[in-house]
Structure 1
Amino acid sequence: MENSGNSTGGNWDIKKKLIVLMILTGLIPLILSFVATSKVVHENILELNKSRLTSLRESKKLQIENYFKQIGNQVITFSTNTMTVDALGRFSTAFSQVEDQMQSKHGDTQNSKLMDRYKYQMENTPGVSSDAATRWFPKQKSTQILQSLYISENTHPIGEKEKLDTAGDYSSYTQVHEQFHPMFRQYLEKFGYYDIFLVDADTGFIVYSVFKEIDYATNLKTGPYSNSGIGRAFNAAIAGNAPDFVAIDDFSPYEPSYNAAASFIASPVYDVGEMIGVLIFQAPVDRIDAIMTSNKQWKKVGLGDSGEVYMVGPDFKLRNNSRFFVETPKEYFSTIEKLGVDPKSIEKQKALGTTIGIAEVRSLGSKAALQGQSGFQIFPDYRSVPVLSSYGPVDILGLKWGILAELDEAEAFITQDLIKDMSLYISIGLGVVILIIAIYIAGLTSRRIKGVVTVVEKIANGDLKQQPLNNSSSDEIGDLTRSSNQMLATLQLLQEQTQEIAAGQLDTQEVLENIKQGQNLDQATGFIRNKYQVTKGDLADALDNLNSQMRKLAVQANLIANDDLNNQILDTSLTGDLGEAFTKMTEKMKWVAGQAGYIATNDLYNSNLKDDTNGTLGDSMSTMVKNLRVATTEMARSESLMKQMPTNVLYADTDLTMQFMNPESAKTLKTLEQYLPTKVDDMIGQSIDIFHKNPAHQRKILSDPKNLPHTAQIQVGPEILDLLVSPLFDESQNYLGPMLTWEIITQKLEMEKKEREQTDEMRSVMMQITEVVQTLGASSEELAAVSTEMGNNSQATADQANEVSSLADIISQNVQTVATGTEEMSASIKEISGNSSEARRSPPMPLRVPKRPTKSSVNWETAARKLVMSLK
């Protein structure tokens, strides 16, 4: 019974099957290739973006840390500047005289205008109470007077009050302000600070401010801003009690700046060893933002349309502006409103026009970065958009912030999507081509097979009246066609002969000839059969004999393989030419085994290396042993040299497996064993990969001698190692592996660092001394001139002139002393520069630095200045 088929495919004709088979054969590799390509592209794009974002993160981290270090150095340098010291002292004195000198010119009218200014401040400061203006309004009369003069009655618009140099009166404060304000303003503009303050250490009053906001002239001990960022920075600087101390207060809302985030950096100011006040910088928000946003040129630094780098503080608030706030504020606010961000925070960002210190970022990356972790992940950012993020910690003068470099996932993988689309289109196109080819080939094949089937079916039905099939092909279908044609021709001939026999027309002689040919055929067949039987017997005997010899030969080979060269079977088991040849070979092997025994036991000087058969084997063996003797001697000498070498040496083979380590290297590594991944005694035989977290890079370098020699510095525990990797070759210049020589250079690097620090310190001291020399020189000339003038005026001032002359002489002596010290200092610096190379090879010697001007010399200058002022 015919099977109806177990599946749908069982009822398909060959054309359909061929089409399906060819399509599957073509499409399956395409699909697999598409999947594999997509995976590889995804991984490569991910790794590329990881490297790019991490590089940007580290670059910005370095920039911002260095910038804040620069600010710290500037606040120290500026606080020790003689102009700053002089200005703070004179501002403090003048501030204490403001009420006495100007009270009569200040009344209710001025206070009313000042209150209007405070009301304006309250109305434009988000998040303050309705009584803020009253709470802020100063209680001290001197504060009211100065704020009226320099804020409410200042004709310059709000935000430009710093342009006023003088209030127009003749008070001491106005004169001091007119003298110093342009210089402080120029410094502020040059370095981009938001504001600069001078605060009296004793009273706590801000005696000077460049920008003149409502914190100007207030008291940081008892005033309304004593607990704000500027108050905390002031108190920290006072407590620091050192000229080079720097205090920083992190960004937080600051009411005088309309509750915008503000950070303050402070350093105490000393005059002749006594703290007289504090210099405070209000952090330059715009400069910080420019560094982090690359001056709003995100695309130029490779961040595309959605990338950004930003910092967050311990409060999770931004320390620079969001890119999306800057570029697309409407979309930004719409997004965070949908996310449910506090409406007060949104209104504050809109009112102040910034996200700094207001917008919060509580993502996985920001949390990890603030915990001191570095990494790379994909997670939703503060817009709830998936991003590729490279995050890490950043140190800002002791403040622990986090820094993140991010790019939207959609943009990061846009190239992958394009490649996927292109691959899909190509696959579809190839699929169509494959389908067309499959249909054509299947149709052609099906037609040819159907032609044969048709012929066979007609033959089966007794229809022999048909033409042979056309055939020009040499493939299997062509063979089938030819066979069917031949079968058709044979059957047609048979049919004709049958018909002729039936009609009595077939020639009897032709039949007899056919019968005779049949007899001859039988005879030929019998002859061939007999010959085959004879040949078969001879061949069987030969094969039996060969099989016996092969078994004996196998026994002999097994004895030789088991080193049983003295077994008697080796001499007797084989016969004939084969046995004789095998006996000679055995004797040779016995002799070679004996000589190999000498070599194996290092008895290379045994003289019995002669071949008894007078063949060339003994000569070859002798030559080999001589070469081994030379090589062994050379290797012993090289090994001895390597072991006695005072340099640390380590050798690995081409598989980077450690093969040799000289005693000096082992001795040195023993001191660092606790920091190594394995014990020193266990290193030989292990791969050098154990020393690297990512060994692929090192393998790429060390596996190719073209990359060598190669130098590097690595840190092992507290020590820094200087490495030199050189290639090792044999006589044929075949690469044997890398040889590593190394030394510990930690002390050397520390010496070089100390040398640079000493040189920088010497230069700094010399510059300060030069300034003092110039100042003292000018003072000396001025006092000498005053002395002469006083002597010419009258006898009544003779005593004063004599005193001034004495002061001038003393100052001149001090100038000479300082000049001498300057020359000594210059000589010391030249000596340091000339001997810098020697300092690298030996411990640094203590330098003799000339002392700074004594306290008495500065007192003389101060006394002289006061005397001149009194004479005027």
Structure 2
Amino acid sequence: MLLGVSLVSALIIGAVGFVNGRNSLHASSIDQLTTIREMRTHEMKVALEDVQRTASLNSRNLSAQNMSKALNAGFDELQGQTLPADQEAALDGFYADRFVPALEKRTGDQYGSGAFVPESAAGRWIQAHYTARNTTLDDAGYEKMLKTDDGGDGTTYSAAAARYGDYFSRLVTQAGYEDVLLLNLTGDVVYSAYKGPELGSNLDIGPLRDSKLADAYRKAIATNSVDTVVMTDFERWVPSMGTPSMWIVSPIGNDDGITGALAIQLPLSFVNNVMTGSNGWKGQGLGTTGEVYLVGRDGLMRSISREVVEHPKQYVQTAVDHGTPPAAAKRAAEVGGTVLIQPITGDAVTRAQSGKSGTLEGSDYISGSSVVSYGPLDVDGLDWVVIARIDSSEAFAPVDDFTRIVLISLLGIMLAVALLSLLLAQVFTRPINRLVTAVHQVAEGDLDVQVPAGSRDEFGDLGSAFNDMASSLRIKQQLIDDQREENERLMHTLMPQSVAEKYKQGEEAITEAHDNVSVVFAELIGFDDHSRSLTAEEEIAQLNTLMRGFDEAAERAGVEKVRTLHGGYLASSGLIVPRVDNVRRAVEFARSLREVLERFNAQNGTAIGLRAGVDTGAVTSGLVARTSLAYDLWGDAVNLAYRVRSVSGDPGIYVSQEVRDRTAELVEYVEAGTVEVRGKAETVWKVA
């Protein structure tokens, strides 16, 4: 019972705790992922809004205004310049020999060698004196061009660039921008901090006319307001070797009017650092598999994948296994990034793009089972959604750990309860076992058994009650045994043991035939006359005295008392114990009765006489009247013994002829008369 109740209680409590704990941990894991996603969303929004404010402030800066006017004027002057043939050739060689081959290798696309040569004279001039001087097209080459503002050609443009170029250089180096462009009102890129292929190009008619930068420029200029800030989505910026770039464009000028536009190129790291926490995923609660990334309306990533950063060799196979086209996965691994490469599909993106936020579980681009938290990024000009994901196995690892701990704890509790129950069961059942053993002993007849009282509890009370019961049974059994012994003694006084045994066994008719038995029938003469002068108590007392004397005489003579009557006594010899001298014993017993009576008369001054008859022969003994027990003796010998004692009215001991014949040598007889036995006379003799 203790084990059952304890186990059921432990199971119920464990189940309730398990369900509640599991649900709480499950919800906590999802809430944590949602919190991280919301934090990243907020940080991204703040960062983009901050760069927009910075762009707006910088476009209003007096240096920017002065530089715009000076460079615009210098660029216009260059429209009338003719580029020398050698410089023209050097410019063509730059694209044909260095830039276009590097671009094609990087992007895998095909470009014409003259595709990026500006159509305007001013454009070709400044590219020849700036862009074409980048001989390496690597980081060192671009860093060198960042510090080169004087074209060395003595033009107004070079003078203005040398004077104001440091302002743009500091924007790039201090703010971490990828590039800063200055455009005039006709779409010409009149300045670039890194002096790349976009320098001198026209966004309205040049090779970059279909770019997002061109669209943003036209939108910003169309407002004719310095308060305008236009931000673009990522695009593959060809002048940067196809690297995804996004732009912030703001008109340059003041309340009197605008002179151009400032275009800030945001690097990939700007977005990636915010979304990855500067690659600090694990330290910011995303474990070993979690990440937060951006997805555009086209279903492509707008930030880098953690898998590409941490496991570039495994990324391709893992991404392909979960639905990414092999070409896209391979390309992402090659360039070490997933922006505008890695496609993202599924319910999370669809719901987020419809403006919903929430969480779900399912497969994603890198895992078969992930927990995903999704929501839109509310920033003007961008149609992005924020996705936070983590492998389900890791997200719910605390749940699994909790489940394991609960199960282990529950099993431990169950084992402890089982062991405790076994121990307590031994303690509880020990007194019961003692009682059971004692009860068996009582059932086997051992009423002397006692059990230790034990503790002062129900078992102790039960033990005490059992001891009291055993003592009571022992006393009652003793009384019963004493009563049984008394009954046996009384029964044996009423009948022979053989008859008593048959009676106890329930026999209805109990008789026994005996062939050689001597019978003595004695009666008192004159006792009735004597008793009239006595009280009832005195009469019974004197009669008992005589009967005890007769019993003692029977015992001495070896005869058996058959029954006692008021004033009479019937005995036999050889009835119960066969004796060859039963006749002699019977005669001696009769003579002993006379002696007993003589002593009684002498003691009490009475004159009571004795008349006894003795015969021998076949008799029958048995119980008469079952409801009122009476052991009796009958037969010819009994009948003759009764009759011979009455052959004369005088006291004396009278015997039959056969008795006289068998004891004539021992006892002296005199003839007393005759009785009729079966139609003929038989002599009766009297002891002299």
Q: Do they superpose with TM above 0.5? A: yes
SS of alignment partner, residue 107 of structure 2: coil
Larger Cα Rg: Structure 1 or Structure 2?
Answer: 2
Return the match for 1:123 from 104, 120, 131.
104
Structure 1 residues 218-227 or 79-88, which shifts more? 79-88
Shift of the 180–505 alpha-carbon distance from structure 1 to 2, 3 Å rule, reads farther
Shift, 1:186, TM fit = 0.7
Matched, 1:85 2:65: yes
More displaced stretch, 250-259 vs 469-478: 469-478
Return the offset for 1:479: 5.4
Alpha carbons of structure 1 residues 459 and 64: separation in structure 2 relative to 1, 3 Å: closer
1:260 and 1:357 in contact (8 A); partners too: no
**Paired residue for 1:277, among 252, 260, 269?**
260
Alpha-carbon separation, structure 1, partners of 2:254 and 2:453: 116
Work out which of the residue numbers 11, 15, 24 in structure 1 matches 2:4: 24
Report the counterpart of residue 225 of structure 1 in structure 2: 208
- TM-score, normalised with respect to structure 2: 0.64
Residue 80 to residue 452, structure 1, CA distance change in 2 (3 Å)? closer
- Please point out which of 402, 407, 418 is paired with 1:424: 407
Q: Which amino acid aligns with 1:114?
A: Y
Matched, 1:178 2:159: no
1:497 corresponds to:
482
Equivalent in the alignment of 1:867: none
Q: Decide whether the 8 Å contact of 1:261 with 1:356 is kept in 2.
A: yes
Distance 1:268 1:452 in 2: 106
Which amino acid is the alignment partner of residue 187 of structure 1? L
**How far 1:227 moved relative to its partner?**
0.3
Structure 1 residue matching 2:49: 3-state secondary structure: helix
Partner of 1:860: none
Equivalent-residue separation in structure 2 for 1:266 and 1:345 (angstroms): 31
Aligned-residue offset at 1:341: 0.6
Shift of 1:193: 1.5
The aligned counterpart of 2:375 is: 392
Alignment match of 2:394 (pick from 411, 426, 436): 411
Q: Is 2:312 the partner of 1:329?
A: yes
| Distance in 1 of aligned mates of 2:215 and 2:481 | 126
Does residue 259 in structure 1 map to residue 239 in structure 2? Answer: no
Q: Secondary structure at the match of 2:470?
A: helix
Supply the AA of the counterpart residue of 2:179: D
* Candidates 229, 234, 245, aligned match of 2:228: 245
Correspondences of 1:610-649 after superposition (within 5 Å): none
Indicate whether 1:286 and 2:266 are aligned: no
Partner of 1:533: none
Higher strand share: 2
User: Do residues 338 (structure 1) and 318 (structure 2) align?
Assistant: no
CA contact (8 A) 1:197 1:279 kept: yes
Distance in 2 separating the partners of 1:182 and 1:213: 17
Greater Cα shift, 51-60 or 358-367: 51-60
How far apart are residue 212 of structure 1 and its match?
Answer: 2.6
Equivalent AA in structure 1 for residue 454 of structure 2: S
User: Residue 100 of structure 1 aligns to a residue in which SS?
Assistant: coil
Are 1:50 and 1:376, in contact at CA under 8 Å, matched by a contact in 2?
A: yes
TM-score, length of structure 1 as denominator length: 0.51
Deviation at 1:321, TM superposition (A): 1.9
Cα distance in 1, alignment partners of residues 164 and 136 from structure 2:
19
| Partners of 2:378 and 2:441 in 1: CA distance | 96
Residue from 251, 262, 283 that aligns with 1:268 = 251
Measured after TM superposition, the shift of residue 220 of structure 1 is 1.1
Instruction: Give the Cα–Cα distance (whole angstroms) in 2 for the partners of residues 113 and 316 of structure 1.
Output: 36
SS of alignment partner, residue 375 of structure 2:
strand
Structure 1 residues 616-656: Cα deviation after superposition (integer angstroms, max 9, x where no partner): xxxxxxxxxxxxxxxxxxxxxxxxxxxxxxxxxxxxxxxxx
Q: Secondary structure at the match of 1:222?
A: coil
- Give, in whole Å, the separation in 2 of the partners of 1:437 and 1:67: 64
Give the superposition deviation at 1:465.
Answer: 7.2
Contact 2:363/2:369 (<8 A) preserved: yes
Deviation per residue, 1:766-798 (Å, 9 max, x gap): xxxxxxxxxxxxxxxxxxxxxxxxxxxxxxxxx
Name the structure 2 match of 1:298. Answer: 281
Tell me the amino acid that sits aligned with residue 103 of structure 1: P
More contact order relative to length (CA 8 Å, sep ≥ 6): 2
- With over 3 angstroms needed to count, the CA separation of the structure-2 counterparts of 1:406 and 1:107, relative to structure 1, is closer
Pick from 374, 382, 387: which aligns with 2:357?
374
C-alpha deviation, 1:273, in angstroms? 3.7
- The alignment partner of 1:253 has SS state of strand
- Residues 508-523 of structure 1 aligned to structure 2 (within 5 Å): none
Which residue in the other structure is 1:234 paired with? 217
**C-alpha offsets along residues 96-142 of structure 1, whole Å, 9 cap, x if unaligned?**
4446264255143442243112233333332413x454544555554
**In the alignment, residue 463 of structure 2 is paired with which amino acid?**
G
| Counterparts of 1:472 and 1:243, CA distance in 2 | 102
Equivalent of 1:103, from 84, 89, 111?
84
**Aligned 8 A contact 1:121 1:133 in 2:** no
In the alignment, what sits opposite 1:811? Answer: none
TM-aligned CA deviation for residue 454 of structure 1: 4.8
Q: Distance in 1 between matches of 2:256 and 2:292?
A: 44
Q: 1:135 to 1:495 in 2, by over 3 A?
A: farther
Aligned twin of 1:320: 303
Q: Which residue of 1 aligns with 2:173?
A: 189
Q: CA deviation at 1:210?
A: 1.0
Q: Shift of residue 470 of structure 1?
A: 4.1
Find the aligned partners of 2:354 and 2:173 in 1 and give their Cα distance. 36
CA contact (8 A) 1:118 1:137 kept: no
Distance in 1, matches of 2:254 and 2:489, equals: 151
**SS of residue paired to 2:106:** coil
How far apart are residue 209 of structure 1 and its match? 0.8
- Local SS of the residue matching 2:81: helix
8 Å CA contact retained: 1:459, 1:488: no
Cα-to-partner distance string for 1:460-487 (whole Å, 9 max, x where unaligned): 56x4476444443552552564366336
**1:274 CA drift (Å):** 4.6
Distance in 1, matches of 2:329 and 2:65, equals 44
Distance 1:210 1:170 in 2: 19
Q: Is the 8 A contact 1:205 1:217 kept in 2?
A: yes
Deviation per residue, 1:498-529 (Å, 9 max, x gap): 553256399x9xxxxxxxxxxxxxxxxxxxxx
Residues 683-735 of structure 1 deviation map (CA, whole Å, 9 limit, x = unaligned): xxxxxxxxxxxxxxxxxxxxxxxxxxxxxxxxxxxxxxxxxxxxxxxxxxxxx
User: How is 1:700-739 mapped onto 2 (pairs within 5 angstroms)?
Assistant: none
CA contact (8 A) 2:91 2:127 kept: no
Q: Give the partner amino acid of 1:122.
A: L
Aligned AA (1:375): G
Kindly tell me: are residues 496 and 63 of structure 1, through their superposed partners in 2, closer, same or farther at Cα, counting changes over 3 Å?
A: same
Q: Which residue of 2 aligns with 1:167?
A: 151
Q: Distance in 2 between matches of 1:340 and 1:48?
A: 30
Contact (CA 8 Å) 2:232, 2:381: kept in 1 or not? no
Cα offsets for 1:47-96 (capped at 9, x unmatched): 43454444433333333223222222222222233322222233233334
In 1, the alpha carbon distance for the partners of 2:156 and 2:131 equals 18
- 3-state DSSP of counterpart to 2:293: strand
The secondary structure found in structure 2 opposite 1:243 is coil
- Larger relative helix fraction: 1
Q: 1:470 to 1:267 in 2, by over 3 A?
A: closer
What is the SS of the residue equivalent to 2:231? strand
Q: 1:402: how far off?
A: 1.7
Matched, 1:207 2:173: no
Structure 1 position 185, deviation (Å): 0.9
State the AA in 1 paired with 2:292. V
Contact 2:230 2:381 in 1 (8 A): no
- The percentage of aligned residue pairs carrying the same residue is 25
Checking the alignment, whether the CA contact within 8 Å between 1:468 and 1:488 is kept in structure 2 is: no
Instruction: Measure the CA separation in 2 of the matches of 1:104 and 1:171.
Output: 18
| C-alpha distance in 2 between matches for 1:283 and 1:337 | 30
In angstroms, what is the RMSD of aligned CA positions? 3.2
SS of the aligned residue for 1:291 comes to: helix
Structure 2: which 5+ residue stretches go unaligned?
Answer: 494-688
Query: Aligned equivalents of 2:254 and 2:388: distance in 1?
Result: 45
**For structure 1, which runs of at least 5 residues remain unmatched after alignment?**
1-20, 509-872
